[in-house]
């Protein structure tokens, strides 16, 4: 492939001999051979026991980093986009030869990236959206209280029940003090509806039919009877929009329904603005990428997938879940996850090359003082020292690079 360069690096003579001798001596110190004290076995015996080929492999491991550094120094004029792959291409008592495969920056033909005809949606917030948000907020502050009276839709009931098929109790059909919210549709179809109107202490027989796709074979499509007793009824009390509710919110300047609605409208507007902006950027990027001619190196996609999975793993950890647990829960594996993420990984790599090429075309530069200000702003935002922050984000060069990419995105946006 045009974007791959293979380089062979041979290490021979005294350098290879020294590596082998040191490796043998290191092995001699730690290997245990019957008939000899540890570290005292003769060299020929050590070589025979450990294996000549294994010794060469271990010796090669000690030299590969220096060989890699030499290759990188010799090819510093070439733009390499992934860490070179290294293998041993040949090996003997006389020499070792490494094969380094360098993935080079591909040729890029930047197509049209201005006047792409992408229209940004207008931000509109309806009264219905504000009302829905207000109701959602009220429900978050709702209280569940004991109810006197009859079971109604939305109530939470505490019940005892036992199920019978043909007059005989069936496995898994019995429970005591079971919490069931009417209207949640968590029980067999028809069960919850028949509880409406029952009172505390009331007992009732409920007739239902199990679905044909029910997991228990002997209950699929079966007509059964449940004996049910209501032990307790609870209802959700949604707060009124009164002075007490506004005080509970603790939101500055919010003391009436009108002021709360205005604040909710601003929140919805900000969220929608952010969503529309992101959608607009995505659409602009998609169109500009489609106009670009490039052959993406496969290794770059693989590297991006590895980064995405690592980030996904970190996000799961924040929720108290490991990646292995996620695979168990979803009956998947790393390969399945990579296949799901592949389109996004491919798009990210394309977008990276697009923005870098736009930055070159538009001659985007970032002044050192602007980088300084950005670092200062971010260290204050994340409450870190400059040293800690730069170590975490990859250094000053990465901050400058990120600022260039953001300017390239602005050019895309402003010209569409």
Structure tokens at 390: 């730069």
pTM, two decimal places:
0.74
Residue 2: predicted pLDDT: 59
Tell me the C-alpha to C-alpha distance, in Å, between residue 201 and each of 3, 108, 182, 230, 231.
Answer: 78, 77, 17, 5, 6
Q: What are phi and psi of 244, to 5 degrees?
A: -60, -40
Structure tokens at 286: 């998609």
Q: Sort residue 236 into left (φ over 0), alpha (ψ -120 to 50) or beta.
A: beta
Q: Sort residue 117 into left (φ over 0), alpha (ψ -120 to 50) or beta.
A: left
Residue 39: predicted pLDDT: 85
Residue 83: predicted pLDDT: 87
Exposure letters 366-379 (e unless 16+ CB within 10 A, then b): beeeebeebbeebb
H/E element holding 345?
helix 334-361
Select from 388, 387, 302, 377 the least CA-distant residue to 402: 377
DSSP state, residue 289? H
Residue 330's contacts (CB-CB under 8 Å, 6 or more residues apart) are none
Q: Which residue reads 């209501």 in tokens?
A: 230
Query: CA-CA distance, 78 to 66, in Å (whole number)?
Result: 19
Question: 293: buried, middle or exposed (CB in 10 Å: 19+, 13-18, 0-12)?
Answer: exposed
Residue 147: predicted pLDDT: 94
Question: CA geometry: angle at 152 spanning 151 and 158, to 5°?
Answer: 40
Structure tokens at 94: 């006389």
* Residue-by-residue pLDDT tens, the chain, 416 positions: 558 899 999 999 999 999 999 999 999 999 989 889 888 899 999 999 999 999 999 999 999 999 999 999 999 888 999 889 999 999 999 999 999 999 999 999 999 999 999 999 999 999 999 999 999 999 999 999 999 999 999 999 999 999 999 999 999 899 999 999 999 999 999 999 999 999 999 999 999 999 999 988 999 999 999 999 999 999 999 999 999 999 989 899 999 999 999 999 999 999 999 999 999 999 999 999 999 999 998 889 999 999 999 999 999 999 999 999 999 999 999 999 999 999 999 999 999 999 999 999 999 999 999 999 999 999 999 999 999 999 999 999 999 999 999 999 999 999 87
SS3 state of residue 100: strand
């Amino acid at each position: 492939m045009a974007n791959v360069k293979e380089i062979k690096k041979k290490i021979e003579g005294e350098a290879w001999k020294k590596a082998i001798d040191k490796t043998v001596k290191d092995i001699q110190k730690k290997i245990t051979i019957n008939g000899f004290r540890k570290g005292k076995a003769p060299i020929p015996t050590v070589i025979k026991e450990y294996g000549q080929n294994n010794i060469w492999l271990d010796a090669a491991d000690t030299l590969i980093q220096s060989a890699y550094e030499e290759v990188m120094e010799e090819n510093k004029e070439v733009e390499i986009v992934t860490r070179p792959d290294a293998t041993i291409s040949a090996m003997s008592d006389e020499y070792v030869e490494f094969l380094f495969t360098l993935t080079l920056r591909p040729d890029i033909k930047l197509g049209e990236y201005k006047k792409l005809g992408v229209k940004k949606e207008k931000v509109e917030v309806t009264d219905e959206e504000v009302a829905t948000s207000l109701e959602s907020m009220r429900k978050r502050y709702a209280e569940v209280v004991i109810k006197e009276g009859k079971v109604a839709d939305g109530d939470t009931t505490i019940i005892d029940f036992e199920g019978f098929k043909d007059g005989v109790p069936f496995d898994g059909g019995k429970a005591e003090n079971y919490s069931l919210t009417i209207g949640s549709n968590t029980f067999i179809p028809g069960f919850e509806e028949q509880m409406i109107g029952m009172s505390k202490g009331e007992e009732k027989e409920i007739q239902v039919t199990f679905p044909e796709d029910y997991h228990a074979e002997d209950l699929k499509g079966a007509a059964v009877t449940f004996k049910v007793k209501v032990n307790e009824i609870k209802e959700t009390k949604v707060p009124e929009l009164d002075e007490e509710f506004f005080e509970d919110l603790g939101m500055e300047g919010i003391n009436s329904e009108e002021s709360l609605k205005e604040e909710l409208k601003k929140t919805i507007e900000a969220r929608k603005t952010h969503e529309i902006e992101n959608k607009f950027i995505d659409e602009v990027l998609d169109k500009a990428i489609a106009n670009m001619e490039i052959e993406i190196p496969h290794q770059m996609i693989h590297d991006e997938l590895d980064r995405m999975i690592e980030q996904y793993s970190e996000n799961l950890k924040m929720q108290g879940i490991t990646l292995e647990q996620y695979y168990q829960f979803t009956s998947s594996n790393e390969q399945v996850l990579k296949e799901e993420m592949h389109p996004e990984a491919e798009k990210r790599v394309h977008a990276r090359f697009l923005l870098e090429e736009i930055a070159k075309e538009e001659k985007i530069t970032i002044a050192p003082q602007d980088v300084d200000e950005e670092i200062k702003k971010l260290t204050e935002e994340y409450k870190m020292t400059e040293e800690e922050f730069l170590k975490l984000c990859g250094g000053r060069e990465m901050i400058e690079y990120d600022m260039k990419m953001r300017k390239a995105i602005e050019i895309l946006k402003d010209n569409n």
